[in-house]
Structure 1
Amino acid sequence: MSKSVEELIEDLNNQDEFVVEAAIGELEIMGEESVDALMSALSHRKKNVRLNAAKILGIMSNPKAIDALILTLRDSNKLVRREASTALSRMGQLAVDPLIDILDDEDWRVRGAAAWALGNLKDKAAIEPLKALLNDESGYVKAGALNAINTIKEE
C-alpha cells in the first residue's frame, strides 16, 4: 500500500535517511499531485520538512511554487533559505522578475538569496537591479550581487 502525500511529507523529517530519500523520490514522481502539499510544507514546524520540500520543488521546477519559495527566503533557518534560493534558481526565466522585485527587501538574507539565485539564472535583465546592491550594508548581499553580475556578464 502506498503512502499518502501527507504521510510522505511527514517522512521528510524521519531520522532514517533511506526513509527520507524514498519519500523525496515518491513526491517527485507524484509531480503536480504533490506540489500544493509541498508548498504548504514550506511552513512546516520541522526544519527538515521545510528544507526537503524546497529541495523537491526545485527539482520539479514547477513555476506554481515561485511565490511560496520567495516567502521561504525569510525562513528562520539558513539552510532552508539557501535551499529555497537554489530552488528558485532552477525555475528559469519565470523566476527572474519575482527575484528582481525582492532585491529591495528589508531583510538582508532575502536580498542576498535573491542576488545569488539571479546569478544562477544568468539573465541580463538582472544586471542593473543588481548593481544597486553593490553598496548594500551587508557583505553577503554585496558578494551575492557582485558574483551574480560577473556570472551574468560571462554568459
Structure 2
Amino acid sequence: MEPEKKEEQKTPEEKSTEGKETPVVTRSMREQSCPTCGAEEPSMPAVLPDPSWSTERLIAATKDKHMLVRSNAIILLSKREISESLEALIESLKDEEYLVKSNAMVAISSYGKQVSDRIIEALSDADKDVRAGAAWILGELKDNRAVQALEKVAKDEYPLARIQAKASLMAMGRGPKQQEKKPEPEEPGAESGAAKEEKTE
C-alpha cells in the first residue's frame, strides 16, 4: 500500500487568497515609488537656487534634471533684468513638466507689456508649447496689438494653443459675440397682433 499523502498545511493568508485572481503589480510598486507600498520619499535636490546666484547660474539651472531646481530658477529669473532673462524664460515654456511651464508663463507676464512684442512673435514659434504659453501670457497682458495674432492661433492645430488663444481673446473682450435674434419675417397678408387688436376694439 502506498503511504497516505499528508495534506499540506496552509497558512491563513494562503487560504484567504485561494480562488482569487493574481493582484496587479504596477511598475511603481516594483520600483518602490508609491508611499503606500513602502516607497522611499522622493529625492530632494542637494541645493535649490537662491537670490545670491548670478543670472548666468540661474539660466543654467533652468536646464537642471530636477524639476524643483528648474521651477525655482525660473521664479528667481523673473526678478532679473528682462534683457538677460526673457529668452531663457521663453525656452522654459517647452519644459515637459507643467509646473515649470506655468512658472515660466507667470514669470514672463510679470514683466508687463514691455514683453508684448517678443511674446506676440512667440505666437508663431515652431514649438507648440511656446505658442500655447505665449497665448496665455498675452491674455494676462491684454495688449490689443496681439488680437490678430491670437485669432490666428485660435485656429492652431494644437488644442491647448487654441484654447489658450480663445480664452485670451475673451479676456480682452474679443470673444465670439452671440448673434442677435432677428424677428422672423411675417407671411404676406398676415396682420400683426397690434393690427388685430385695433380691429377688435
Q: Which TM-score bucket, shorter chain as reference?
A: 0.7 to 0.9
Conservation of the 8 A alpha-carbon contact between 1:61 and 1:87: no
5+ unaligned residues in a row in structure 1: which ranges? 1-8, 13-22
State the match for 1:147 in structure 2. Answer: 167
TM-score between both structures, scaled by the size of structure 2: 0.58
TM-score (norm 1): 0.74
Bigger-Rg structure (1/2): 2
Amino acid at match of 2:81: N
Q: Aligned AA for 1:62?
A: E
Q: Do the aligned partners of residues 34 and 153 (structure 1) sit closer, same or farther apart at CA in structure 2, a change above 3 Å counting?
A: farther
Larger RCO (CA within 8 A; separation ≥ 6): 1
- Label 1:10 to 1:148 Cα distance change in 2 as closer, same or farther (>3 A): farther
Q: Deviations over 1:56-104 (max 9, x none)?
A: 223x163121111011111222221111111111111221111111112
Rounded Cα–Cα distance in structure 1 between residues aligned with 2:58 and 2:85 = 9
Corresponding position: 1:62 with 2:98 = no
Structure 1 residue 71 and structure 2 residue 91: aligned?
A: yes
Unaligned runs of 5+ in 2: 1-44, 175-201
> Which residue of 2 is the match for residue 124 of structure 1?
144
1:11 maps to amino acid: V
CA positional deviation for 1:105: 2.0
1:3 paired residue number: none
Structure 2 match to 1:17: none
Shift in alpha-carbon separation, 1:129–1:10, aligned structure 2, 3 A: farther
Name the CA distance, whole Å, in 1 between partners of 2:157 and 2:54. Answer: 39
Cα root mean square deviation, aligned: 2.1
Asked if 1:83 is matched to 2:119, the reply is: no
**Equivalent pair of 1:62/1:91 in contact (CA under 8 Å):** no
Aligned length: 129
Q: CA deviation at 1:153?
A: 3.1
